[in-house]
Chain A
Amino acid sequence: MQNAMDYARAEFFAPSGLSEPALAQVFAELLSKDTTLADLYFQAARYESWGLEEGIVKSGSYSIERGVGVRSVCGEQTGFAYSDEISLQALLESARAARAISRAGQSGQVQAWKAQIPSRHLYGLSDPLASLSEADKIDLLQRMDSKARAVSPYVKQVMASLVAVHEIILIVDEQGRMTADVRPLVRTNVSVIVERQGQTESASAGGGGRFDLDYFIKNNRADEFAEEAVRQALVNLDAQAAPAGAMTVVLGSGWPGVLLHEAIGHGLEGDFNRKGTSAFSGRIGEQVASKGITVVDDGTLEQRRGSLTVDDEGTETQCTTLIEDGILKGYMMDRQNAALMGTKSTGNGRRQSYSHLTMPRMTNTYMRAGEYDPQEIIASVEKGVYAVNFSGGQVDITSGKFVFSASEAYLIENGKATRPLKNATLIGNGPDVLTRVSMVGNDLALDTGIGVCGKDGQSVPVGVGQPTLRVDGLTVGGTAA
């Protein structure tokens, strides 16, 4: 097979006998006078995962998810139904259920079918589940186990996992556009528990992206993750209580970009802004960050975990500037919210699966590099916290308050990072936190490919990144005075 459309046709049309005339019948059922958009989302996903614990691969699983979601949108209103059976009968039933959102009688048909060929492809067609033999997958996990144990005698437990997903997607919309995508996704993770003189700590590390499993072997990436998990856990063994209160915080590069995801990313998603429930609503053109700060959401980076050739509405992803030189520039949009706000989709329409509704979601969100050397930034702080790793975060988009939890942090005393600090949550206010950024590093890095974003009960893979940043006045939730 040559392209994603060949895969989609073979997966969804050949076994069910579906074809363009059958789709025309479905849309005739789905469309009414007041329909503003409608689509069918066919999905077939295969997942495989392996888990190591106590030195052996104890568990493995394989699953298949297959179905079609049918959506009818009339302005602000959405009707949705889905089926795990792909047949004309099931599609017609779902179409009738989804169309119930419209009070107008059925009318309208798709004029012509047009296969959309994306202008570029960000990942390959090959099946990552088949990219390593089973024996090699087991070996890879065992290698991470022995590597972690070799680093330190204090390592008591190693848990490692390897996951591969292969998805085939076909989107058919009310304008007759048919767009297919074939999406690989792999991920590995290693968690360790270390014990020294009765004291226990843990840490984890991992990564992944839209490529084959041999990525973890080729660059010794798996070994690096194992070493990194042990290093962090050992640091935490020496950690002392973090301070409590507002202070200067230096955030490391890469994964600490979760700050951007929580503090401003969610607040700039189109649905909240169309409804006016975001702390950023109506603030385009205002200064929301210090001069020199530029933040983008970029779905076009090759092989990244958060990247997509096309989003789940068939729109090609793009690099959307959210903040430029401190000024709020734009929101992230799906088709429905873009239409309601009189603008165009930015290729951010995403959904967890065929059984979930599309929403505006982030892809890879990061801040562009500045001019400072990271060491210079730390040296500029008399007393504060240097946070280099985080375990996740959350935001209240209406009040704008957000948190993210440091899993590796150090005290800064007289311009030097000194003692390690215990895990602490940091809290801030999204609309003004970036105005408190006083220095931006020249060391932009993206995360290793571990992000999962949750919204309205739906999870999607995302990426984050940033250079080292100095933030003046973030509240650190420690216990020490």
Chain B
Amino acid sequence: MIELDNRQALGAEFQELAEFVLKAAKERGASAAEVGIDKGTGLSVEVRMGKVDKLQYHRDQGASLTVYFGHKKGFASSGDFSRKALEDTLEAACRIARYTAEDEFNGLADPELMAKQPLDLDLYHPWDINADQAIDLALQAEATARAYDARISNSDGASVDSYAGLGVYANTNGFNGLNSSTRHSLSCSVVAQENESMQRDYWYTTACSPAALEAAEAVGKEAARRTVRRLGGRSIPTCELPVLYVPELARGLIGHLVSALSGAAQYRKASFLLDAVDKRIFPEFVQLSERPHIPRAPGSRAWDAEGVATYDREVILDGKVQAYFLGSYSARKLGLQTTGNAGGSSNLLLSHTQSSFQELLQQMGRGLLVTELIGSGINMITGDYSRGAAGFWVEQGELQYPVEEITIASNLKDMYLGIQGIGTDIDPRGSIQIGSILVNRMTIAGQ
């Protein structure tokens, strides 16, 4: 089993260590300080072609500290937790702070916003599995994939990962919080060949509780199905048509929204959605909610990276932006209050239009189902979007043949407003919980 030994004692030790560092910072004249101390342990096995390929044991730890001298700030980190090393790290942070400039917006978050009550988010579920059992699971997934179709000719392997971690965040506003969590995953990737065409695809399952993982056979089968169906992919003539994003790619569209609405992008004026609050950027049926306290969910957290209590809130209501994603620094820059998003967003839930994936295909009629995107061609300042893609040509709501070596392009502002449907086929694997998204029109560049 991959578990932190004596987790409670270790947590108490780290909380004490954090207090030691904060006190030492004060003694060096810092007006405020914050510290994070983390430790994790993990096992990762990979099999390939029916044999063990890699067996890796992970053991990571790190301490990071920020000191404030008035409005001047310094940061340092180290993987060594001895008191001597921590004092050296603190010294390095203080040295940095001597040279950084006064910035009136620097500082800890307001003490009254700190999370007061510990919440049990049920995020710690160690997996009772040893290396041999993990290898067996990976072998099962790969064997199922390789047996799925005669055209599966090779394998890129299957892997099982299990990780347990513990972290403390403390600051001189009296906050000292302890978190622990686990993360497990099983993935499989195979290669199919037919004539000159060789294709690879994969599937994975991940959850904080091993009970929530998909079965090894299901992962292998899905990896194989996705790989085989890509065989014989071809380019298509350049055209303008609707595009349907599968959930794992639709997640990226909301990820770009989070970046554009982040406090840093807003105060730097580096966003295609500037001053967006109260503006309608989606059709009226689109709702996006932040729900940080869902038990066992991948983005759940009781407090953010500054100890600020997280809370349920609406980001998009009836297509209109309600608020940004702010930490205390960007909030002060914008004259607003932090939204408990230092370190990013928690769980984001997108509404759906009560359409199944099949219904969305029907609704699209003729167009492109996109199942893979490559490259990062997005301009966050203008919203211009241009990415490499692969997927399927769709006629009358039916998949016709695989398509590759194409790009899809538009502008994110137009794509958001052009959303015509959102599926009920929600992918639970990421903190953005989302179904397929149908966009009315994009330029598809091909031959």
Contact = CB atoms under 8 A, between A and B. Distances in A.
Interface of A: 50, 53, 56-67, 76-85, 94, 97-98, 100-101, 134-135, 137-138, 156-157, 159, 193, 195, 200-202, 242, 244-246, 275-277, 279, 355, 357, 391-399, 401-405, 422-429, 475-479, 481
A56 B58 CA distance: 39
A423 B443 CA distance: 14
A420 to B, nearest CB: 13
Q: Nearest 9 CB-CB pairs, A to B?
A: A477-B407, A403-B388, A403-B375, A398-B200, A56-B101, A425-B377, A244-B445, A60-B96, A405-B377
B89 A101 contact: no
A275 B99 contact: no
Contact of B407 (A134, A397, A475, A481): A475
A157 B257 CA distance: 22
B1 interface: no
Contact of B54 (A80, A246, A394, A428): A80
Contact of B52 (A77, A137, A403): A77
Contacts of A478: 386, 409, 443, 445
A425 B387 contact: yes
B57 A405 contact: no
A475 B269 contact: no
Interface stretch (B68-76, B307-315, B317-325): B68-76
Interface residues of B, number: 76
Nearest to B233: A399
A78 B55 contact: yes
A311 B372 CA distance: 34
B100 A398 contact: no
Which of A56, A61, A79, A279 is packed against the most chain B CB atoms within 10 Å? A61
Contacts of A405: 375-377, 386
A424 B55 contact: no
A78 B54 contact: yes
A393 B375 contact: yes
Contacts of A402: 374, 388
Contacts of B384: 422-423
Interface stretch (B12-20, B77-85, B345-353, B421-429): B77-85
B48 A84 contact: no
Interface in B355-400: 372, 374-377, 379, 381-382, 384, 386-388, 390
Contacts of A67: 79
A62 B103 CA distance: 19
25 contacts: A57-B101, A59-B73, A61-B77, A64-B78, A64-B80, A77-B54, A78-B55, A80-B56, A84-B61, A101-B54, A200-B381, A244-B409, A357-B54, A357-B56, A391-B376, A399-B200, A399-B233, A422-B379, A423-B384, A425-B375, A427-B388, A476-B445, A478-B443, A479-B386, A479-B409
Given A67-B79, A83-B59, 9 more contacts: A57-B99, A58-B73, A61-B75, A94-B57, A159-B268, A275-B48, A277-B200, A405-B375, A479-B410
Contacts of A77: 51-55
A392 B381 contact: no
B79 A425 contact: no
Contacts of B96: 60-62
Contacts of A157: 268-270
B192 to A, nearest CB: 9
B269 A193 contact: yes
Contacts of A56: 101-103
B445 to A, nearest CB: 4
B381 A193 contact: yes
Nearest to A243: B445
B266 interface: no
B105 to A, nearest CB: 9
A134 to B, nearest CB: 5
Contacts of B270: 157, 193, 202
B447 interface: yes
Nearest to A405: B377
Given A76-B51, A477-B388, A84 B59 contact: yes
Interface in B218-236: 230, 233, 235
Given A156-B269, A277-B200, A476-B445, A62 B92 contact: yes
Which of A78, A137, A425 gathers the greatest number of chain B CB atoms within 10 Å? A425
A63 B92 CA distance: 8
Contacts of A82: 57-59
Q: Which among B101, B235, B269, B406 has the greatest number of chain A C-beta atoms within 10 A?
A: B101
B375 A392 contact: yes
A134 B389 CA distance: 46
Contacts of A391: 376-377
Given A61-B96, A424-B386, A396 B374 contact: yes
A409 B76 CA distance: 40
B168 interface: no
B198 A79 contact: no
A481 B99 CA distance: 53
Contacts of B102: 56
B191 A277 contact: yes
Nearest to A142: B101
Contact of A80 (B55, B74, B199, B269): B55
A479 B408 CA distance: 9
Contact of A427 (B198, B200, B405): B405
Nearest to B407: A477
B60 interface: yes
B446 A246 contact: yes
Contacts of A66: 79-80
B48 to A, nearest CB: 7
B386 A275 contact: no
A266 to B, nearest CB: 12
A317 to B, nearest CB: 25
Contact of A245 (B78, B388, B447): B447
B34 to A, nearest CB: 14
Contacts of A98: 55, 57
A134 B99 contact: yes
B79 A65 contact: yes
B59 A424 contact: no
B53 A78 contact: yes
Given A399-B200, A477-B388, A479-B409, A355 B58 contact: yes
A477 B445 contact: yes
Q: Which of B58, B98, B106, B376 neighbours the largest number of chain A CB atoms within 10 Å of its CB?
A: B376
Q: Most B CB atoms within 10 A — which of A98, A159, A424, A429?
A: A424
B3 interface: no
A477 B235 contact: no
A63 B78 contact: yes
A98 B384 CA distance: 48
B38 interface: no
A425 B407 contact: yes
B345 to A, nearest CB: 22
A401 B79 contact: no
A48 to B, nearest CB: 8
Nearest to A397: B200
A276 B78 CA distance: 41
A424 B58 contact: no
A403 B103 contact: no
A429 B405 contact: yes
B377 A424 contact: yes
B238 interface: yes
A103 B376 CA distance: 44
Contacts of B374: 394-396, 401-403
Contacts of B445: 244-246, 427, 475-478
